[in-house]
Amino acid sequence: MLRTLARGVALAVAGGLAGHASLTPAHASGLQPAPRPSWDLRGRTAVVTGGSKGLGRAIVEELLAQGCDVLTCARDTSPLDALLQEQPASLCAVCADVSTSEGRQALLAAMRERWGEEAALDILVNNVGTNLRKPSVEYTDEEYEMLHATNQASAFHLSRACFDALRRGERKGCVINVSSVSGSTVDNTGAVYHMTKAALEHMTRYLAVEWGPEGVRVNAVAPWFINTPLTAPLLSDEHFHGAVRRATPMRRVGEPHEVACVVAFLAMPAAGYVTGQVVGIDGAMPSEGFRYVKAGGE
């Protein structure tokens, strides 16, 4: 009796599956599976600051590859000329220094020109950043202010300026801040850089809570040493590079695309319940940080 019932159920299920072509494996029919909506960024709008080189360039390229319409800015956009010629319909670049109020206003004006006064914004990536590495007592007041204006204040002011666009429309937007392991560890990077990244990470958590009821998500990524123009002067020293590799469990520095892919994921609907997080991209960098001492204690 049970065997007969089980056989009947199996036949019914098999018959039902045969009647639904959508359940047939794509490779069996010769068709490619359609992108799942949760993992799809096609048609999304994105603003990326500092997109001409390094991490910003990799993020711009990844978002373009995912089908986004991207607006980026830099003080010098000439490194993007070839990419602009390749994808003129999907990429726009504006010369703007977002560490200044004037630069932010220029970027906001470019947003309005490209997408309209009342358009929604899907993705804001606050990537722009810089550093001066020196002992704390040697920073000038001007250098201190410049690092804060570039690394932290620009992200705060631009996020606020984009808030209405981020919450506008049915699909709410998200903010992704590019921080650093220096926001939570101690290394040779300089006190002021550490301070700006720590502030950026706490701002990420605060805005996630404040803007959560509006549906706007705010996250950050925190890379360790990545092969970029900013780290090139340090990593060109083989002794220093070796010390970084030995301190990193994965025994290598990261690549820009490895950061860009995490940024893209955080922007996707698949990450729709992820907010207020600082995602380490660090090869399992130890939480106690990294302190490089040259041979002889220099």
Q: Is 193 a catalytic residue?
A: yes
**In 3-state terms, what secondary structure has residue 294?**
coil
DSSP assignment string, 65-129: HTT-EEEEEES--GGGHHHHHH-TTTEEEEE--TTSHHHHHHHHHHHHHHH-TT----EEEE---
Q: How far is 209 from 265, CA to CA, in rounded Å?
A: 20
Overall residue count recorded for the chain in this entry: 298
Half-sphere exposure of 173 (CA within 13 A, CB side): 24
Catalytic one of 139, 144, 193, 292: 193
The tokens of 255 are what?
């690549």
DSSP assignment string, 229-279: TTTHHHHTSHHHHHHHHHHSTTSS-B-HHHHHHHHHHHHSGGGTT--S-EE
Q: How far is 59 from 260, CA to CA, in rounded Å?
A: 4
Strand spans (E) along 151-216: 174-178
Active-site amino acid positions: 193
